[in-house]
Chain A
Amino acid sequence: MTPNLHLWLIPILPLAGAAINGLFGKRFSRQTVAAVALAFCGAAFAMALWIAAQFSSLSLPHVEVLATWLRSNGFSVDYSFAIDQLSLVMLLIVSGVGFLIHIYSVGYMWEEGGYYRFFSYLNLFMFFMLTLVLASNYLLMFVGWEGVGLASYLLIGFFFLRDSAAAAGKKAFIVNRIGDFGFLIALFLMIKHFGTLDFQRVFDAVKPFSPETAGVGFLTAIALLLMLGAAGKSAQIPLYVWLPDAMEGPTPVSALIHAATMVTAGVYMVARSHVIFERAPSALMVVAIIGTLTAFFAATIGIAQTDIKKVLAYSTISQLGYMFLACGVAAFSVGIFHLMTHAFFKGLLFLAAGSVIHAVGGEQDMRKMGGLRKHIPWTFWTMTIATFAIAGIPPFAGFFSKDEILWRAYQASWIYWLVGVVTAFLTSFYMFRLWFMTFFGEYRGAAEASHGHDEHAAHGTHSGPGSRAEAPFHSAQGGSAPHGHGGIHESPAIMLAPLVILAVLSVVGGWVGWPGSLGGNNRFDQFLGPVFRVSTPAVNSEHAQAGESLPPEKETEGAEPKTGQRTELIFTGISVGAGLLGLFLAWLLYLRRPELPDQLAASLHGLYSAVAHKYWIDELYAWLFVKPLIALSGTVLWRGIDQGVIDATLNGSADGARELSDEVRHMQSGNVRSYAAWVAVGATAVIAYMVWVGLRTP
């Protein structure tokens, strides 16, 4: 007898919170708003923990059907949720990290207007994200998929009355629509070929197929289209451009949506669809190549950014690239492992960066920071842990997952590995650059931290009267100094607590994947094994030429031969070395010889300029797509056909018809005669076509 876990409650709880705050929040005090948001989000997390506690007694995958959604023509979709090892991991990450970021936001957003709206949107996001993770069919997953995009749009664009924020929100939404286009078409193809969108049934239908090694079959097409969707949501080449702009949103949003959860949805979706991808080797290769390129490309841009959040944004894109690289070499569980550790350390990096921004009064430019470690020790130490974690220094969490990815990548092709290691070096370099520029040296900002956050200033119109009356969380500086108005100050406890928890996770979070080569037994891999083990396709044979005999997915690391372990240790050494080299170089350039970077930039002028301008990709896209479309719309279709061309070309022919009524002749816009001529032209075309059809028909 399988227990009824009421999985549907998990997403519904935050939705209830969103509804309460959205409908009545205006009349609530800030405390009430925060309490509602935290209670409902926390309840979802508690349920996730409760499910984890009895997880071993479930028969997996555990599916719960709530209701029939639609049923027609033999095709049916249900409102149904499912939990297995993969979705449990995602569920715990999303609800856990989400809850921590909710707590942090209570303090961070305290002085902002629209407090209730913010928490309403944040809870709404949780609803969609949890739906995405728990859905047991592609259609419900797509609802979550679109929903998180919408919530993200609300949180980027709706929060600040800034043109750049509105534009960023819109850009994120539309770029994501391009990705969704791929996802949708993939769904249609699934309906066509399998007659279902249910995960289990789709995968069962796919299993009998052997990998499409020769040519592009429909499985490859589906996989590639899914990857297009994933590239949009997870900010991969060529659709990564929206994520850096999305940093316009409040920092907790960047942490939750644009680092820890939503942007990893693409990785989750690819891993979830592994049965399809495994049968489409060329699609898998595309995934690996996109991942590798994105990881490297974004890391190079990260080097020259001066905005602390932009550095982290490019770093997120780069790290997501690692996850796709892992998926692309069919090491899905490793991709999810990195997804998890990344959620910890990148969430932490953003929250700590928020704390830094908070401390220096809204400044985001690292060139105006420096020497902050003495002023904000908690932030400094937690951020230090996160920096070491992302740089891949043992024994921090990022080391284990990144090392595992590089090792598995090497087994597929040494090129993936090489680019991966160089990226690891770059990652370490730009992260320590950030670390040194922010916390070491002399403070380079104005003597007094400027008054109020930029965000606050821009957002002033939202705050109603009396919204700044209370500031109970700002006692760290002696209570009397309202934040943003004093000097550099540490954040309140409610913001620091999540930092500390995430810091602990950033240290120990990777230990569950302690590899066999270092004397562990990679329990994480074993835990996810059943999800990814179900099929053992012949994908690996393609990589056999790399000279290594790849252990099939179902074998654990411990089963590897000793020689493999020794090689793995050497590779571990190399990737740690790359991290340390980055640390050293950052130290040299940004602490020891701070005049060097400028000289370097000057001597490498062309290259530096390309990197600093993000390779002009935004400009390229504008030139390639946006401008032609606007020109077509504005010049050709609107001023041209609507107003000009027809009038000009057809008026002559219609001159004879002048004796129409007064009313017609005095029309202000749009000419009836030319419109009629337009209809006549269309009619001629239609008639000609049908006559042609008639002549052709025997």
Chain B
Amino acid sequence: MAALQTMQGVPQAGDYIRILPEIVLSIFGMIVMLLDPVLDERRSQRTLGGIALLGAIAALAATLYQAQPRFWGFGFFDTVKLDAFSVFFHFVVIAVTILVILSSYEYMEVQQIRAGEYYGLVLFGTVGMALMSSAVELVLIFIALEISSISTYILAGFRRRSAISSESSVKYFLLGSFATAFFLYGVALMFGATGSTSIARISAALADYAGTGHGPMLAYLGVALMFVGLGFKVAAAPFHIWTPDVYEGAPSPVVGFMSTAPKAAVFAVLLRIIFEAHFSETVWLIWLAAALSMTIGNVAALVQDNIKRLLAYSSIAHAGYLLIAFASLPANGIPAAMFFTASYAAMNVGAFAVIGHFAGHGERYVMLEDYAGLGKRSPVLAAILTVFLLSLIGIPITGGFFAKFYVFSAALQGAHPLMGLVIIGVINSAVAAYYYLRVIVVMYMREPREDAPVAPISAGLGLALGLSLAATLFLGIYPNPVLKYAALSVGLLH
């Protein structure tokens, strides 16, 4: 492999700073795993959760430290690259992790799940996701993808006493492995076509092909296979089919986690592959996947009565909106996609935190009818969920509005505006209003049901909700700083 040829010396000190958050997360993950068997079972949850939280916060600090441009550049024999782009995704992924740990704290107690390795797996999964956003070498990307995926497979089955949860885990694992195989095969074909697994070299090799007169058929096949693998991970149609079942079965905070952080990371990979390797031939593929995801997601969500399934379809639809940015010009598409991931992460983690809290022991209350009169029984919780839902609809002064606004607006710039796709997207977001409103209507306009009790909000959950609420509103009211930072990546990728 290309990377091997350059491997002459030992890594430099600067290299370690370039993967500092990953190192911090791994160390804390190991501490959690080591302490788990030692600690008293009843107390382990609090202590280990605390350590994990500390680890995630330390990783966030590490991200802020490495955000100084003097550390930016390639590391570890050109396999990782630290720049504004990877710092942005590090921040998003680790911030999501913090929110998930905060909201899991109470959830695991209510569900009476022994939680030691849970926090360890969350941290290890985050390592993979963080690494995905900074890796610029396909084999490393594959390894990072696997680290992240295997953690989420296990996390999905963490409600061990629930058949539906184990089922969800197995399904996710089987189908996920299937999809990863596609990706790996794609990488192999890419290597065959260009003689390298480094994205930069692939890009250069593909540019050389341009003049030779024969198309790099292997490379096209490789991209097709990689697209299948990554499309599965982000739940884009037609590879979305696993999503509702898995989301329904997995623990709610885990769903909040896996519907945002790994997706953000995979979208980062997709951005690198499509824009940095100049794969503009995929436009129509992405066009179709975006249109299908939006339409299938939103239309199927209309009749869902299980709120987790409903949000599963909603996340398929959101993957569709986001894909629109990938079909746009890089100068507009890249920042739009990055902004979208961040704001979707904020509102969706928040929504699942509310759902997880409300579900109660054994996740008994996840049907829409259980939410009847929630506005009366728990006004604060209902109001917060309403804000997240409004943001998912895309009402102004929430992050969800600007996320869609930028993506649609990006798609219309340039010489070949994607008018058709934008129209499909905007009509979809009009249809989508229906099922989000349905939840709001049930919460506020149905008689309260006494048999679905609402526990008081714990400090950790309160903090998680407060933070995601603040982020959702901040991105809607003052999106400028985030957008500016995202715009830095345009030159880096393109």
Q: Tell me if B's interface is mostly helix, strand, loop or mixed.
A: helix
How many chain A residues touch B (Cβ–Cβ < 8 Å)? 69
Shortest Cβ distance from B476 into A: residue:
A143
Cβ of B224 and Cβ of A687 under 8 Å apart?
Answer: yes
Q: How far is the CB of A186 from chain B (nearest CB, A)?
A: 11
Q: Kindly count the residue-residue contacts between A and B in the assembled complex, taking CB atoms under 8 Å apart.
A: 190
Shortest Cβ distance from B292 into A: residue:
A682
Cβ of A181 and Cβ of B430 under 8 Å apart?
Answer: yes
Residues of A within 8 A of B237 (CB): 682
Asked whether B35 is an interface residue with its Cβ less than 8 Å from the other chain, the reply is no
Identify B480's interface contact among A70, A682, A685, A693, CB under 8 A: A70
From known contacts A170-B434, A178-B430, A629-B302, infer whether A679 and B179 are also in contact, taking CB-CB under 8 Å. yes
Asked whether A161 is an interface residue with its Cβ less than 8 Å from the other chain, the reply is yes
Cβ of A185 and Cβ of B423 under 8 Å apart?
Answer: yes
Identify A177's interface contact among B242, B244, B433, CB under 8 A: B433
Asked whether B441 is an interface residue with its Cβ less than 8 Å from the other chain, the reply is yes
Q: How far is the CB of B37 from chain A (nearest CB, A)?
A: 27
Cβ of A192 and Cβ of B417 under 8 Å apart?
Answer: yes
Bound CA–CA A146/B431 (angstroms): 16
Bound CA–CA A675/B175 (angstroms): 8
Asked whether B483 is an interface residue with its Cβ less than 8 Å from the other chain, the reply is yes
Asked whether A27 is an interface residue with its Cβ less than 8 Å from the other chain, the reply is no
Residues of B within 8 A of A73 (CB): 331-332, 335, 487
Residues of A within 8 A of B483 (CB): 70, 72
Shortest Cβ distance from B301 into A: residue:
A633
Asked whether A638 is an interface residue with its Cβ less than 8 Å from the other chain, the reply is yes
Residues of A within 8 A of B231 (CB): 682, 686
Q: Produce 1/0 per residue, B204-246, CB < 8 A to A.
A: 0000000001111101110111011001100001110110110
Q: Choose the segment among B19-27, B131-139, B406-414, B464-472 that binds chain A (4+ C-beta atoms closer than 8 Å).
A: B406-414
Residues of A within 8 A of B396 (CB): 142-143, 146-147
How many chain B residues touch A (Cβ–Cβ < 8 Å)? 80
Identify B175's interface contact among A157, A679, A689, CB under 8 A: A679
From known contacts A633-B299, A694-B215, infer whether A185 and B174 are also in contact, taking CB-CB under 8 Å. no
Q: Choose the segment among A1-9, A349-357, A515-523, A663-671 that binds chain B (4+ C-beta atoms closer than 8 Å).
A: A663-671
Asked whether B447 is an interface residue with its Cβ less than 8 Å from the other chain, the reply is yes
Cβ of A668 and Cβ of B433 under 8 Å apart?
Answer: no
Asked whether B58 is an interface residue with its Cβ less than 8 Å from the other chain, the reply is no
Cβ of B220 and Cβ of A189 under 8 Å apart?
Answer: no
Identify B221's interface contact among A180, A675, A685, A690, CB under 8 A: A690
Q: How far is the CB of A59 from chain B (nearest CB, A)?
A: 29
Give chain B's interface residues, CB within 8 Å of chain A.
Answer: 163-164, 166-167, 170-171, 174-175, 178-179, 182, 213-217, 219-221, 223-225, 227-228, 231-232, 237-239, 241-242, 244-245, 281-282, 284-285, 296, 299-304, 331-332, 335, 390, 395-397, 401-402, 405, 408-409, 412-413, 417, 422-423, 426-427, 429-431, 433-434, 437-438, 441, 444-445, 447, 478-480, 483-484, 487
Q: List 20 A-B contacts (CB under 8 A).
A: A69-B480, A72-B480, A142-B396, A147-B397, A150-B395, A174-B437, A178-B430, A181-B430, A184-B405, A188-B412, A189-B412, A634-B303, A642-B244, A672-B171, A675-B242, A679-B241, A682-B238, A691-B224, A697-B215, A698-B214
**Chain A to chain B: the 10 pairs with minimum beta-carbon distance, closest first:** A682-B238, A690-B224, A694-B220, A697-B215, A177-B430, A633-B302, A637-B300, A143-B396, A166-B445, A670-B245
Give chain A's interface residues, CB within 8 Å of chain B.
Answer: 68-73, 142-143, 146-147, 150, 157-158, 161, 163, 165-166, 169-170, 173-174, 177-178, 180-181, 184-185, 187-189, 191-192, 461, 629-630, 632-634, 637-638, 641-642, 646, 661, 663-664, 667-670, 672, 675-676, 678-679, 681-683, 685-687, 689-691, 693-695, 697-698
